[in-house]
Structure 1
């Protein structure tokens, strides 16, 4: 197992997954990549009157990526990463899509993630992002329970 991907969102579940990811990376001498996905709404919408409006989220996107980068740096400070090769990915889009794309593009051997994160609607056993990643992942997914 050479490459491990760990999605993080700041939730307790992702904290536990990050800790397990570090543990596995040390055990197998693996590279560890943390991915943080920032959801930004579509650029085209409509009003209740049916009028279409285009929104420019470029400036907001830049600020959110800067904030996301600070978040990831802060998050990683709390982990014992000594002896582990670490990379960070901060991307925008639908979380499950971006996690799956990163896993495939990066040819990861394993995804380590919490069973649910900060979603508005929490499922009883598994969060919706986690479920979609499990369903469509190009590699094994290790789910860390809280």
Structure 2
């Protein structure tokens, strides 16, 4: 059996990994950790950059716009690092583990992955965040609960972020 665990770096998502590990050990489940970067929204902001202005009101220069093109690469690298940090910090010994960074609208990617790869359970945090808020609109967890084709276990975190 397989558990899907979306990770965004929040305390709630780390708690979800810990709960998934507990379940996987007890019932011999596989775990897949994913982190989703919404590159489409980032690139749409880039396409509209002519409307962007610096703090002093001037239009952003070409160098700044080119640096903005590096943002998706940096976010993908950051997401990979996040998954590596979590797998390094927690003991996954004896648990079949896979990890992957995906792109797209987070809740859609989570649902698509769960369905396409026949996951038996999604374990996720009750709230999330990232350093740039990952451009979330609405609650990813609520959307996943509403539309998932498999059970969703929501892990609550006591940590205030």
| TM-score, normalised relative to structure 2 | 0.74
- Measure how far apart 1:105 and its partner are: 1.1
Structure 2 residue matching 1:134: 3-state secondary structure: helix
Residues of 1 paired with 2:105 and 2:43: CA distance?
10
Q: CA RMSD in A?
A: 2.3
The structure richer in strand per residue is 1
1:50-100 CA deviation, whole Å, 9 max, x = no partner?
xxxxx8877543332222212210121111111100000101111111111
The structure richer in helix per residue is 2
- Measure how far apart 1:45 and its partner are: 3.3
Residues of 2 paired with 1:129 and 1:75: CA distance?
21
Q: How does 1:70-109 map to 2 (within 5 A)?
A: 70-109=81-120
Match of 1:124 in 2: none
Residues of 2 paired with 1:144 and 1:68: CA distance?
21
Residues of 2 paired with 1:89 and 1:32: CA distance?
11
Residues of 1 paired with 2:125 and 2:74: CA distance?
27
Structure 2 residue matching 1:107: 3-state secondary structure: coil
Match of 2:78 among 67, 74, 90: 67
Q: How does 1:42-53 map to 2 (within 5 A)?
A: 42-43=43-44, 44-45=47-48
Q: How does 1:1-146 map to 2 (within 5 A)?
A: 2-40=1-39, 41-43=42-44, 44-45=47-48, 59-118=70-129, 128-146=139-157
Residues of 2 paired with 1:128 and 1:19: CA distance?
22
Residues of 2 paired with 1:18 and 1:80: CA distance?
11
User: Runs ≥4 in structure 1, deviation > 6 angstroms?
Assistant: 55-58
Residues of 1 paired with 2:125 and 2:26: CA distance?
19
**Rg larger in structure:** 2
For this pair of structures, how many residues does the alignment match?
A: 134
